[in-house]
């Protein structure tokens, strides 16, 4: 039986992975995040399972190779925390490209609804027996324009939800979907015409800080920003400036640029040593959740099943349709020849 070193394990991870495992693997759960200091915990394991805030850089990959580990299974869609160029030819990297697009898209709409109708503020008021409506006015979403950056499965599901609210949908994606039921525009045009902008694209060198001082300057006054994808899609300082000036009317964030030091942990009894994060949380027109958009029963079941199926296929010598490498996007990957990236 192969052994998996499972990093950054939470109670819910154990519950869902143990349920799906069915004694196929021996899973060693570690609460520690994977990094250069903790990689040695994987000694004796055959594979590593990692998450969004683990560090799978060149140093960690070198150590994994020394330990005889040749596969890293990401239990998430994103892999920007993996040095895939350093991994190529040495460590196979698999991920979960899709689990529940509805989970993330519905959370994005939840953030927008709460932000627009000030539900978070109303909830706090009524708990203190304050039933005043001052400062709680929102706007009709019907007839407004939503700009969606990234039209993969999540972005398209979110577009359908927005259409159900009677919103006009415009979108930007460098790889447009054929016959899409919405209009594709440039990023500049999207910023110019949108009342709400929602991010659903992966983090790459091209999308890093796609929302920045310049793009914010082109937006409508009072625009709402929603981000359920990756924190570094938004320049945090530019966001702060836009919120303070009133250019940005509000932000619904499930991710944060420096989240790896904080998200998924309990800091309720500690001083938050990130002034920017503390400032964002304190703003009445910001709702920040802790990267929980994926967190539904259906999504967790799918994540566990796909992650373990990826590992099962690897050890059985089968094809790896969910493998990724730095050559995949360039079209020079060998997966089409041998069903694996290398």
Catalytic residue chosen out of the listed positions 230, 257, 323, 340: 230
Average pLDDT over the chain, rounded to an integer: 95
What is d(CA 191, CA 236) in angstroms, rounded to the nearest whole number? 17
- The residue among 62, 53, 52, 55 whose CA lies nearest residue 89 is 62
Catalytic residue chosen out of the listed positions 92, 107, 291, 340: 291
Is 120 among the residues known to form the active site?
no
What average pLDDT does the segment 96-123 reach? 96
| Domain membership of residue 256 as a residue range | 101-288
Neighbouring C-beta atoms of residue 7, cutoff 10 Å: 28
**Of 57-61, 100-104, 271-275, minimum mean pLDDT range:** 271-275
Cα dihedral 52/53/55/56 (nearest 10): -10
Is 259 among the residues known to form the active site?
yes
Are 234 and 89 in a shared domain? no
Are 160 and 13 in a shared domain? no
- The residue among 112, 168, 176, 115 whose CA lies nearest residue 144 is 168
What is d(CA 116, CA 124) in angstroms, rounded to the nearest whole number? 16
* Whole-number percent of the chain with pLDDT over 90: 89
What average pLDDT does the segment 184-206 reach? 96
Is 11 among the residues known to form the active site?
no
In this prediction, residue 287 has a pLDDT band, given cuts at 50, 70 and 90, of very high
Are 109 and 256 in a shared domain? yes
Q: What is the pLDDT of residue 272?
A: 86
Q: Which residue has the higher pLDDT, 270 or 221?
A: 221
Are 86 and 195 in a shared domain? no
In this prediction, residue 260 has a pLDDT band, given cuts at 50, 70 and 90, of confident
Catalytic residue chosen out of the listed positions 75, 107, 156, 259: 259
Are 43 and 124 in a shared domain? no
**Of 61-75, 161-175, 208-222, 260-274, minimum mean pLDDT range:** 260-274
Position 179 pLDDT exceeds 80: yes
Q: How far is CA 261 from the centre of its chain?
A: 16
Q: What is the pLDDT of residue 270?
A: 87
pLDDT digits (tens, 9 = 90+) for 39-95: 999 999 999 999 998 999 999 999 999 999 999 999 999 898 999 999 999 999 999
Q: Look at residues 264, 288, 312 and tell me which one is the last residue of a structural domain.
A: 288
Number of domains in the chain: 2
Note the helical H segments in the chain.
11-21, 58-66, 84-87, 101-117, 119-127, 153-164, 187-193, 213-217, 236-245, 275-282, 297-315, 335-338
What is d(CA 160, CA 198) in angstroms, rounded to the nearest whole number? 13
Are 167 and 281 in a shared domain? yes
Position 28 pLDDT exceeds 80: yes
pLDDT digits (tens, 9 = 90+) for 147-172: 999 999 999 999 999 999 999 999 99
Instruction: Supply the pTM of this predicted model.
Output: 0.89
Are 130 and 62 in a shared domain? no
Neighbouring C-beta atoms of residue 141, cutoff 10 Å: 19
Are 258 and 322 in a shared domain? no
Position 261 pLDDT exceeds 90: no
Q: What is the pLDDT of residue 262?
A: 84
């Amino acid at each position: 039986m192969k052994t998996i070193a499972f990093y950054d394990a939470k109670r819910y991870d154990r519950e869902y992975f143990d349920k799906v495992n069915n004694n196929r693997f021996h899973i060693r759960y570690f609460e520690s995040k994977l990094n250069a200091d903790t990689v040695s915990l994987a000694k004796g394991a055959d594979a590593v399972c990692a998450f969004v805030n683990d560090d799978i850089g060149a140093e960690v990959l070198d150590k994994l190779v020394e330990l005889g580990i040749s596969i890293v299974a990401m239990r998430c869609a994103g892999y920007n925390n993996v040095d895939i160029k350093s991994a190529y030819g040495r460590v196979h990297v698999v991920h979960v490209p899709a689990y529940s697009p509805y989970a993330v898209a519905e959370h994005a709409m939840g953030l927008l609804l709460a932000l627009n109708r000030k539900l978070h503020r109303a909830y706090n008021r009524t708990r203190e027996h304050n039933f005043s409506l001052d400062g709680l006015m929102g706007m009709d979403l019907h007839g407004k324009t939503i700009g969606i950056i990234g039209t993969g499965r999540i972005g398209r599901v979110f577009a359908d939800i927005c259409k159900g609210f009677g919103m006009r949908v415009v979108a930007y994606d460098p790889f447009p979907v054929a016959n899409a039921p919405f209009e594709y525009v440039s990023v500049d045009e999207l910023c110019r015409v949108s009342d709400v902008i929602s991010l659903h694209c992966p983090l790459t060198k091209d999308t890093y800080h796609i929302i920045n001082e310049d793009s914010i300057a082109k937006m409508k006054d009072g625009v709402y920003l929603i981000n359920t994808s990756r924190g570094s899609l938004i320049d945090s300082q530019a966001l702060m400036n836009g919120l303070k000036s009133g250019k940005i009317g509000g932000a619904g964030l499930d991710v944060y640029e420096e989240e790896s030091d904080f998200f998924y942990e309990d800091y309720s009894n500690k001083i938050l040593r990130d002034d920017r994060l503390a400032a964002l949380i304190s703003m009445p027109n910001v709702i920040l959740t802790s990267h929980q958009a994926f967190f539904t029963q259906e999504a967790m079941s799918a994540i566990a099943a796909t992650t373990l199926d990826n590992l099962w296929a690897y050890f059985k010598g089968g094809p790896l349709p969910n493998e990724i490498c730095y050559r995949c996007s360039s079209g020079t990957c060998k997966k089409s020849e041998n069903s694996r990236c290398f």
